[in-house]
Structure 1
Amino acid sequence: MKKHKLETYLEVYDSISELPDTIQNLINKAQQARDNAYAPYSRFKVGAALELANGTIVTGNNQENAAFPSGLCAERVAVFYAGANYPGERILHLALTVKSGHKVINTPTPPCGACRQSLAEYEVGQGQPIALYFMGETGKVVKSGSIRDLLPLIFDSSFLEKL
């Protein structure tokens, strides 16, 4: 038997103000999207904003449905919209922020597993990392330089049999 150690490196910023202006703007867009989320059941609102290589910013927010799990997370709303409307355009950065109707969330909140897998599909497909910035409602911001930092053992098309 052989053991392998996996390490992840993340950058942690004490506040949005420590980030470059372009990333602050992206987080602001994610916060605006978050505030418009449709989350009447969980009251847990999530907003995402991504910047494409052509400079376009695409936003998304979570969309809940009484028939769980028919809703969709903010990250996938944004990335699928970008894929549908800007096919082949690389995603450079993605900002993610959350807000709860039950309590203030100060802890940086990363994407769920399904969103990590969806983002990995785009990152692998474009052959370039997607920088991900995530936070709670307030407080620290965490930067992951690549989806691989959050999902190091990704499942991608290389595992599928070619027809």
Structure 2
Amino acid sequence: MDKQITINYEAIENYDHLDAMEKTLFDKAMAIRNIAYAPYSDFTVGCAILLENGEIITGSNQENAAYPSGLCAERTTIFYTGANFPEVKIKKLFVIGAPRKATSSVPIPPCGACRQSILEYEAKQKDEIEIYFASLDGEIFKTKSIRDLVPFSFDSSYL
């Protein structure tokens, strides 16, 4: 018997439809994207995380000549957050990625490894993390939880 899975997400038309905090996260993700270390792919990604205490943490992708040694912006940011704010919940994660010289793009979602890493932190804190992924033009997709992007997810409950 075939079954179907659907995901829920919100399409936000552009930057003007964001609230003040969402605009701040967009702006910070865009700014940190501009200083990403991406000499090999020239694909730059910025991430901004809002913590429950109101603090915003940012990070960008960090490439390496030994490709598996690099790290995506989402994991750079979430791992820094986990190391420095281990007991503070993550409320929102905002990501923007595109080729360095692009002036237009489509919303770029987190890769599979980043989705799994975000899932780990969401499970740890026992609270959903809103995920936003945006284009350079301001088109944004929003999910209420990483589980919307990973419907058959693997977490510690299976161990």
Indicate the residue corresponding to 1:127 in structure 2.
126
Residue equivalent to 2:98: 99
TM-score (ref. length: structure 1): 0.93
The AA in structure 2 aligned to 1:25 is: T
Task: Say yes or no: does 1:34 pair with 2:30.
Answer: no
Distance 1:5 1:113 in 2: 20
Match of 1:46 in 2: 45
- Quote the Cα distance in structure 2 between the aligned partners of 1:21 and 1:36: 24
Letter in 2 for 1:53: E
Which secondary structure does the structure 1 equivalent of 2:68 belong to?
Answer: coil
**Partner in structure 2 of residue 60 of structure 1:** 59
Is 2:82 the partner of 1:77? no
Q: CA deviation at 1:102?
A: 5.4
Which is worse superposed, 86-95 or 5-14? Answer: 5-14
Deviations 1:140-159 (A, max 9, x none): 11111100000111110111
| Matched AA of 2:9 | L
Q: Separation in 2 of the partners of 1:35 and 1:96? A: 13
Q: State the SS of the aligned residue for 2:69.
A: coil
Equivalent pair of 1:98/1:105 in contact (CA under 8 Å): no
Q: 2: CA distance between counterparts of 1:20 and 1:102?
A: 28
- Can you list the C-alpha shifts for 1:36-76, whole angstroms capped at 9, x where unaligned? 10001100000000000011100010000011111000000
Give the Cα separation in 2 of the matches to 1:105 and 1:124. 34
Indicate whether 1:148 and 2:147 are aligned: yes
Per mean C-alpha deviation after superposition, the further-off stretch among 98-107 and 8-17 is 98-107
The answer (yes or no) to whether the contact 1:98–1:136 under 8 Å persists in 2 is yes
Q: Which runs of 5+ in 1 are unaligned?
A: none
Greater shift, 72-81 or 101-110, is seen at: 101-110
Alpha-carbon separation, structure 2, partners of 1:54 and 1:19: 20
Is the 2:60–2:76 Cα contact (8 Å) retained in structure 1? yes
What are the ranges of 5 or more consecutive residues in structure 2 without an aligned counterpart? none
CA distance in 1, matches of 2:101, 2:134: 17
**Backbone CA RMSD of aligned residues:** 1.2
C-alpha deviation, 1:5, in angstroms = 2.3
Q: Which residue of 2 aligns with 1:117?
A: 116
Separation (CA, whole Å) in 1 of partners of 2:56 and 2:62 = 19
2:18 pairs with 1:25 = no
